[in-house]
Amino acid sequence: MPKRIFRCSPVRWHLTTAISVLLIVLGARAELALSATSFYEGKTIRIIVGTSPGGGYDTYTRLIARHFSKYIPGKPSIIVDNMPGAGGLLSANHLFKVAKPDGLTIGHFVGGQFLQQLLAKPGIEFDALKFEYVGVPAQDDFVFGVAKTTGVTSVEQWLVSKTVVKFGAIAAGDGTYDVPKVAEVALGLPIQVVSGYKGTAPIRLAFNSGEVGGLSNAWQSFRATWRKELETGEVTMVLQLSTKPHPDIPKVPLATNFAKTDEMRKLIAAVAQAHGAAVRPYVLPPGTPKDRVEILRNSFMETIKDPELLNEAAKANLEINPGSGEGLERNVKELLRLDPALVARLKEILK
């Protein structure tokens, strides 16, 4: 009797293969979750903020910390520490050189420090390409706010009057410093940058006392932490340094409209990128195990979508416009490929 040969139809074969692959993936994820639960259970995650308490970086972090734990397997405790200094450079160096790569320390510093690495700033002891990236809660749009007491009501009037306005700043690498320094050259604005503040909260105190008359800051931070000054009209937004107008302030003009040359427009665009999509990074030390990186990335994005967090953010006027860890990593790599001619010009301006 001839042997009977059974053949599986192509459709059934593909279906069987797909189910097998799905089971393998689900099994791997379950194993990963179980491993993570056993690791993070009973542990404490420390988030180091590279600026002083009370500013935008600190405010975002403390909001995230209140909800982060419930999305991490094992539900570890979350604590927030501040390590201000040199526009976030102190904390960035600490994360790179000192912090253990065990998935229990997360850094949140000013992303403008990535640009400073490109400019070979003295004191940088990290390599941005080696950090592990978790994500960003918001992507900033920098604006110039000036005090009512300066008499400046618009950028056009400011340029004509040639009124010198002191801008409070943290340090090179921070948008409070880099953005006005570039605008001073690219637009010819009469700005005197006064650096050395530990964060935007101390700058706000200096602004209210009359020590400084202006600030370059993210609109996201202005509307969250300068609510009183905005409501009373003590601070006026006169210029946006982003690629397009923010929906909240559509009538505030863009800096690129006042740039003197095409090179100056490119410089503004480069600084806007450095202090935009990548400016609020949450990162892990180099060498952090990939499974823990993936867990924290996924948990971070789930946290940012949490209804309670979104409700708190709305009450605090905090804009939530998140970016993934993968997207953040791409943005940093793109920034570090900036045209060498523009890098040389920025070095000259931000020296």
Instruction: Provide CATH 3.40.190.150 ranges for the chain.
Output: 40-139+278-350
Nearest CA to 200 out of 235, 176, 227 is that of 176
Give the CATH number of domain 40-139+278-350.
3.40.190.150
Residue 78 predicted with pLDDT over 70? yes
Q: Are strands 214-218 and 132-136 parallel, antiparallel or unpaired?
A: unpaired
Nearest CA to 324 out of 141, 103, 134, 71 is that of 134
What is the predicted pLDDT for the residue at 38?
85
Q: What residue type is assigned to position 282 of the chain?
A: Y
Tokens 């040199």 identify what position? 86
What is the predicted pLDDT for the residue at 5?
47
Please compute the mean of the pLDDT values over residues 251-255 and round it to a whole number: 96
Rounded to whole angstroms, the Cα distance separating 239 from 254 reads: 6
pLDDT in tens, 131-160: 999 999 999 999 999 999 999 999 999 999
pTM for this entry: 0.78
The residue that leads in pLDDT, 297 or 11, is: 297
Q: What is the dihedral of CA 63, 69, 72, 73, to 10 degrees?
A: -170
Please compute the mean of the pLDDT values over residues 37-60 and round it to a whole number: 93
Rounded to whole angstroms, the Cα distance separating 164 from 168 reads: 13
pLDDT in tens, 311-321: 999 999 899 99
Provide the 3-class DSSP secondary structure of residue 307: helix
Superfamily of domain 142-274: Periplasmic binding protein-like II (3.40.190.10)
